[in-house]
Amino acid sequence: MKLSVPGRTTAAAVIAVAGLLTTSAISSAAPSPTAAAPDISVANVQAHLSEFQSIAASNGGNRAHGSPGYKASVDYVKGKLDEAGFTTSVQEFTSNGKTGYNLIADWPGGDADQVVMAGSHLDSVDSGPGINDNGSGSAAILETALTVAREQYKPAKHLRFAWWGAEELGLVGSSHYVDELPADERSKIKDYLNFDMIGSPNPGYFVYDDDPTIEKTFKDFYGGLDLTTEPDEEGDGRSDHAPFKNAGIPVGGLFSGADYEKTAEQAQKWGGTAGEPFDKCYHSACDTESNVDGTALDNNSDAVAHAVWGLSA
């Protein structure tokens, strides 16, 4: 059942009308398109990070492009998604003479002509297990996807999730995906959301400022947590949203900081340590499970869900 109020389409209007219905009418209704996003379990996100950590440990200490640790990461994420009812596909490409993989997962249903997409790079650098960079984004979108399935969310738009290969070699996987996508398929992607490093140990709250609607969606969420964000100016062109943006697709995303130092002003509003990097283990062997701030990971994972739900309703 779809509630429709001529001339009044705000969430408040829909809620006001829903309040007049009997309990049985509400319970038999399809989930409202304005339903709030569920809370994402940070414990579940952290369990995915533990899995990435063990995968690295049993594969020479990293999950880099062309390594067995990367392939094992793809297999882990794909297994969870297949079990949950996603339609998954693995796209192969070659970079540096080695086979790379993008994992794409579609949630069946929604308007196929309007796609909302969320992506994260799944590869690490050679020097470590890559838990904040970018186990964090990979785990958050995985748990968001699994929550979509658990809730049997029926968005108006079609949902697609992606885990990119070889980002660390220069956005190779995501560029390959966009290059290979036919023009009519590209034009169906209404939003691309990117999550690359969202659990930095000395965290900042940076929101990409590329598309105003997506940016507002995130900022509204943080406003509700009394968190002040900053636009992510340094991230421009530095992650997998760049090929989408270059193809004319609206992009947005989150970032909790890498090797730049937190200023005194930023420490005032976000806590943590001024004069130290947001992530002192950026691209290092110490980017392990202990290199993740649980509160930032929790807030940012919930923000992922807020945007995925809000933009696809």
296 touching ligand TRP, by CB under 6 A: no
What letter does residue 168 receive in the DSSP assignment?
Answer: G
235 touching ligand TRP, by CB under 6 A: yes
Q: Pick from Zn ion, Ca ion, ligand TRP, none: which does 298 bind, CB < 5 to 8 A by kind?
A: Ca ion
**What character string, x for contact with ligand TRP (CB under 6 A) and - otherwise, covers 125-164?**
--------xx------------------------------
Between CA 4 and CA 140 the distance in angstroms is: 33
39 touching Ca ion, by CB under 5 A: yes
Give min distance, CB of 159 to ligand TRP, in A: 24
Neighbours of 156 (CB within 10 A): 13
Q: Which of 51, 133, 210, 215 binds Zn ion (CB under 5 A)?
A: 133
Nearer of residues 131 and 296 to Ca ion, judged by Cβ? 296
Give min distance, CB of 43 to Ca ion, in A: 9
Between CA 121 and CA 132 the distance in angstroms is: 11
Between CA 172 and CA 49 the distance in angstroms is: 23
122 touching ligand TRP, by CB under 6 A: no
40 touching Ca ion, by CB under 5 A: yes
Structure-block tokens of residue 114? 């309007």
Give min distance, CB of 79 to Zn ion, in A: 24
State the distance between the two ends of the chain, measured CA to CA, in whole angstroms: 14
Give strand ranges (E) for the chain.
87-95, 98-107, 111-121, 157-164, 189-195, 206-207, 230-231, 251-255
255 touching ligand TRP, by CB under 6 A: yes
Q: 207 — alpha (psi -120 to 50), left (phi > 0) or beta?
A: beta
Q: Which of 306, 310, 313, 311 is nearest to 38 (CA)?
A: 306
Nearer of residues 159 and 242 to ligand TRP, judged by Cβ? 242
Q: Which of 302, 304, 307, 312 binds Ca ion (CB under 5 A)?
A: 302
Catalytic residue among 167, 234, 261, 276: 167
Nearer of residues 74 and 197 to ligand TRP, judged by Cβ? 197
Q: Which of 98, 186, 216, 238 binds ligand TRP (CB under 6 A)?
A: 238
Nearer of residues 40 and 313 to Ca ion, judged by Cβ? 40
167 is catalytic: yes
Confirm if 137 and 120 have CB atoms less than 8 A apart: yes
Q: Residue type for 139, please?
A: A
CA distances for 11 relative to 3, 33, 221, angstroms: 11, 9, 15
Nearer of residues 167 and 211 to ligand TRP, judged by Cβ? 167
- Look at strands 111-121 and 251-255 and give their pairing: unpaired
113 touching Ca ion, by CB under 5 A: no
CA distances for 310 relative to 38, 83, 157, 191, 304, angstroms: 11, 25, 10, 11, 10
Q: How many residues at the interface with Zn ion, by CB under 5 A?
A: 1
What are the helix (H) ranges across 151-201? 172-180, 183-186
Q: Quick one: which segment of 43-51, 52-60, 233-241, 304-312 binds ligand TRP (CB under 6 A)?
A: 233-241
Q: Residue type for 290, please?
A: S
Which residues make up the interface to ligand TRP (CB under 6 A)?
133-134, 167-168, 196-197, 234-235, 238-239, 255, 258
Which residues make up the interface to Zn ion (CB under 5 A)?
133
> Known catalytic residues?
167
Which residues make up the interface to Ca ion (CB under 5 A)?
39-40, 42, 298, 302
